[in-house]
Amino acid sequence: MAPSFDKVDTLSINTIRLLAVDATIKANSGHPGAPMGLAPVSHVLFNKFMTFNPKNPKFMNRDRFVLSNGHGCMLLYALLHLYGYDLSLDDLKNFRQLGSKTPGHPEAADTPGVEVTTGPLGQGVSNAVGLAIAEAHCAARFNKPGYELFNNYTYSIMGDGCVMEGVASEACSTAGHLQLGNLIVFYDDNHISIDGDTDQALTEDVLKRYEAYGWHTVWVKDGDHDLAGIAAAIEEAQSVKDKPSIIKVTTTIGFGSKLQGTHGVHGNPLKKDDAAGVKELFGFDPNESFVVPQEVYDLAAKQAAAGAAAEEAWNQLFAKYASDYPELAADLKLRIENKLPEGWEKSLPVYTTSDPAIASRKLSETVLNKICDVVPGLIGGSADLTGSNFTRWKTAVDFQPPSTGFGEYSGRYIRYGVREHSMGAIMNGLAAYGGLIPFGGTFLNFVSYAAGAVRLSALSDVRVIWVATHDSIGLGEDGPTHQPIETLAHFRALPNIMVWRPADGNETSAAYYKALTETHTPSILALSRQNLPQLEGSSIEKAIKGGYVLKEVENADVTIVSTGSEVYLSLEATQILESKGLKARLVSLPDWLTFDKQSEEYKLSVFPDGHPILSVEVMTTLGWQKYSHEQFGINRFGASGPYLQVYKKFGFTPEGIAERAEKTIEFWKGIPLRSPIRRAFTQVE
């Protein structure tokens, strides 16, 4: 039965508008225009269609809502408050204030009910694609006759800015191919961006583009008033099971304001006289602020209560399911609790020096083959580089619409195509859904294409794993266009992300151990194309500290610290130094973030006072100053050629490293040295 609407619905819509007006005025910043235009569609969606429980924002089968155009965040905050999430009227009054639950753009870690962190345009709708993939996969894996545990929708609102962003185009193309009928996106067609009328930059037929992607399209021409039309469009979209749907809703930005329909209401609070006029227009007292009529709360509470009842019914269904399907229920329970299967880590391979030299990308493949069947929540893929990244394990089944003949929705291997940026954003959505641990493969250099999504992974505290192969000039002939120089420095500078560059098999296993057990931190695993020997003295237990002494000597003249493929070269350099009567320690430092979290005592045991420290890495030297007195790296682009020749060209041979170590010893001779680890004060963390 189609929903009906009355004056309380209109009152609720106007209340949402005015909460946005009041909050942005009080903050003296923000975007009132989008919430004022989108209040009707958001009210219809939340009050008539969505299933959610504000008392348990993590209810597994809730409908997901993503505000992709995060500059309209007061729309979302107002809705969360009205429907009873842990967001008070005072929280709305503290919009954009330091330490509040209502930051300037939605942040999942700060605000109950916010599914993903959005703000950078295009990211949210791309996250929504990941959320929809997650539901389709979980439904295919866990649903059984009479037990429809997963049937939620993912809804998203995006604006013209998201439509213009390339990452959204990548992700929506993927969604169309995957036939995600559980994904419904509202396109806020208000014809305004920050610069003014979108006709200055966007004149294509957006619905035709999405039709070409394989989406079902609907147009609501009067999004300001036609509540029944909005509801009918949602019902139509829900009826289409083999395509995602985009509902173009033509709205008026800043509806009711003197500046409605202009970019002047996009990113600035309303003037006091304008705000007063809007309140009078909507039947509110112009002298009052943050007013919520009781009947608005009551209407919202009915929908929230229905959501709570839906969760209770789900819990009862799951209890019966556990009796009939105990193994699947146990798996799902672990996932909901964000736990890994007991003893999974015993599957991580362990190596000795008698094992052959192997490229760390192949070592990564071995780990995946060992753990993917043991950790069924892992869901992987590659940006069209499966044969180079070695990300597809032996028993993998592709995640594909069954109609394509390429796989099943129960499959756990995603063919992202040449879409690195959307792969990162989709993985953020997969991780945010719950119960899944996404990993994706590409070349390390091309993780830079996805930097926007990687940054949001770190900010969102989600467990996402990048399998980033071809990690250095060691990739050889492909040359400087593909050889990372600045990439590790960039991502090491990013807060809350582990950047692992393992030197051998044990360190690769350690990297995966940390990537899976650190539930609120994403990881980049930088992996070699060339073979690396198994190192004496390495172990998973040592490497999970992020850095450790691989070779210890007393009364050392120098410590060499290195990562990845340069560690074994540095080890050979220590032997050359020994032949000259010089004593050299060797430290492997596969992940800076993990090492920096160790105790001061441990860090000083790795990097002690009393002698110089030389860093060796075939990347920029930027950042190494916090661990070393001297740095040997590459502060220019690489070169094309066989990798051994390229390494030799830049001096990265045992002899070349030994030569730099000798110069380091000579330069610092007789100078009392303190460890670079020592600091006068602690950095803000």
How far from chain centre, in Å, is Cα 649? 38
For residue 500, the SS3 value is strand
446 marked as part of a ligand binding site: yes
Burial class (CB in 10 A: 0-12, 13-18, 19+), 140: middle
Q: How far apart are CA 527 and CA 389, in angstroms?
A: 9
120 marked as part of a ligand binding site: yes
H or E segment and range at residue 616: strand 613-616
71 marked as part of a ligand binding site: yes
Q: How far apart are CA 557 and CA 610, in angstroms?
A: 9
Q: How far apart are CA 338 and CA 320, in angstroms?
A: 22
676 marked as part of a ligand binding site: no
Q: How far apart are CA 99 and CA 582, in angstroms?
A: 54
638 marked as part of a ligand binding site: no
420 included as an active-site residue: yes
Residue 380 has a CB neighbour count (10 Å cut-off) of 24
Q: How far apart are CA 63 and CA 253, in angstroms?
A: 26
Q: How far apart are CA 109 and CA 16, in angstroms?
A: 23
482 marked as part of a ligand binding site: yes
Residue 472 has a CB neighbour count (10 Å cut-off) of 32
412 marked as part of a ligand binding site: no
Q: How far apart are CA 403 and CA 401, in angstroms?
A: 5
3-state secondary structure 172-225: HHHHHHCCCCCEEEEEEECCEECCEEHHHCCCCCHHHHHHHHCCEEEEECCCCC
387 marked as part of a ligand binding site: no
369 marked as part of a ligand binding site: no
Instruction: For 45-191, list the strands marked E by DSSP.
Output: 64-67, 154-158, 183-189
H or E segment and range at residue 341: none
Q: How far apart are CA 440 and CA 428, in angstroms?
A: 11
Beta bridge partners of 155: 65, 184
Burial class (CB in 10 A: 0-12, 13-18, 19+), 621: middle
Q: Length of the chain in residues, anyone?
A: 685
Whether residue 154 contacts residue 131, with contact meaning beta carbons closer than 8 Å, is answered with yes
388 marked as part of a ligand binding site: yes
644 marked as part of a ligand binding site: no
Question: Strand pairing of 584-588 and 630-632?
Answer: unpaired
Q: How far apart are CA 132 and CA 155, in angstroms?
A: 9
Catalytic residue among 420, 507, 566, 617: 420
192 marked as part of a ligand binding site: yes
361 marked as part of a ligand binding site: yes
What lies within 8 Å, CB to CB, of 359 at 6+ separation is: 527, 528, 529, 530, 531, 532
Beta bridge partners of 193: 196
**Does residue 63 come out as left (phi exceeding 0), alpha (psi in the -120 to 50 range) or beta?**
beta
Q: How far apart are CA 42 and CA 157, in angstroms?
A: 9
φ/ψ (deg, to 5) at 185: -115, 130
For residue 403, the SS3 value is helix
Burial class (CB in 10 A: 0-12, 13-18, 19+), 353: exposed
Whether residue 73 contacts residue 116, with contact meaning beta carbons closer than 8 Å, is answered with no
Report the amino acid identity of residue 342.
E
Q: How far apart are CA 535 and CA 529, in angstroms?
A: 17
Q: Which residues define the annotated binding site for Mg(2+)?
A: 160, 190, 192
Binding positions for thiamine diphosphate are 71, 119-121, 161, 190, 266, 446
Which residues form the catalytic set? 420
Going by the annotation, the residues of the binding site for substrate are 31, 266, 361, 388, 470, 478, 482, 529
Which residues are part of a known binding site? 31, 71, 119-121, 160-161, 190, 192, 266, 361, 388, 446, 470, 478, 482, 529
